[in-house]
Amino acid sequence: MKQPKEPEAHVNSPLQLRAEADAQFAEEMWRFRHPEEGGEKLTLEAILVECPLRYGITVGSLDTLSRFYRWLKLRRESQEKRDAIRQIQEEMAKDPAISPEQIEKAGRVMFLTDSYVKKDAKVFGSMMKIGQTDKSLAQRDKQLKQRDKELTQREKLVEQSERRVALLEAKAAKADQAKEVLGSSLSVEEQNQRLREILK
């Protein structure tokens, strides 16, 4: 199933690039601002000092660090959303009465609902386009099936016509043979015998 893209890392942000490549780093950076129960929340100023000491990454300004945390928040929300929907889809897949197409459609509906509630026009628009594409593909598939049905019917008609032609040709051949027998010098009894053999 196609899903909304995660927030993209800025090419000039070593923090975001490191977070993309190192899940542990991303988790530690998140916990600086969102510690587990009993932990100490660090200020942006403290994190600005901590980054070069702990990770060897120098952050240019508090604004850069603030933008990184906004990106990180969106990234985590996107991941949590995907994980939740994947779990629901896995549960749906256990029911043999639910087709893979229905499961995929349900996932898109959940994404659409979430993005609409959050006023995420970009994601909502992307998912709508996916839905429209799927609808067009379904219509196209229906048209192709109808054409296949029509072609099958035509093939059957052609086969029937070919059989009729073969029967007519066989009858014509027997008629020609009968004419030859009747015009031959055979006796009446021999002609009748020969005709019976031809018309079997």
List the pLDDT tens digit at each of the 200 positions of the chain.
444 444 444 445 888 889 888 999 999 999 999 888 878 899 999 999 999 999 999 888 889 899 999 998 888 887 887 777 777 777 777 777 777 777 677 666 666 555 544 545 455 455 555 555 555 556 666 777 787 788 778 888 878 888 888 888 878 777 778 788 777 777 878 877 877 777 77
189 exposure class (CB count in 10 Å sphere: 0-12, 13-18, 19+):
exposed
* pLDDT at site 4: 45
* pLDDT at site 44: 92
Please check whether residue 42 lies inside any domain of the structure: yes
Structure-token pair, residue 192: 């009748």
Among 64, 86, 108, the domain-final residue is 86
CA 42 from centre of chain = 44
Whole-angstrom Cα distance, residue 80 to residue 90? 15
Please check whether residue 27 lies inside any domain of the structure: yes
Q: What SS3 class is residue 6?
A: coil
Which amino acid would we find at residue 78? Answer: S
Please check whether residue 184 lies inside any domain of the structure: yes
Whole-angstrom Cα distance, residue 157 to residue 174? 26
* Number of domain units in the chain: 2
Please check whether residue 148 lies inside any domain of the structure: no
CA-wise closest residue to 80 among 68, 70, 72: 72
Among 70, 86, 102, the domain-final residue is 86
Please check whether residue 82 lies inside any domain of the structure: yes
* pLDDT at site 31: 92
Among 58, 86, 114, the domain-final residue is 86
Which amino acid would we find at residue 132? Answer: Q
Please check whether residue 114 lies inside any domain of the structure: no
CA 76 from centre of chain = 25
Show the domain range for 183: 163-198
Residue with tokens 């004419």: 179
Please check whether residue 29 lies inside any domain of the structure: yes
Please check whether residue 146 lies inside any domain of the structure: no
CA distance to 5, 26, 55, per residue, from 19 (Å): 16, 5, 12
* pLDDT at site 7: 47
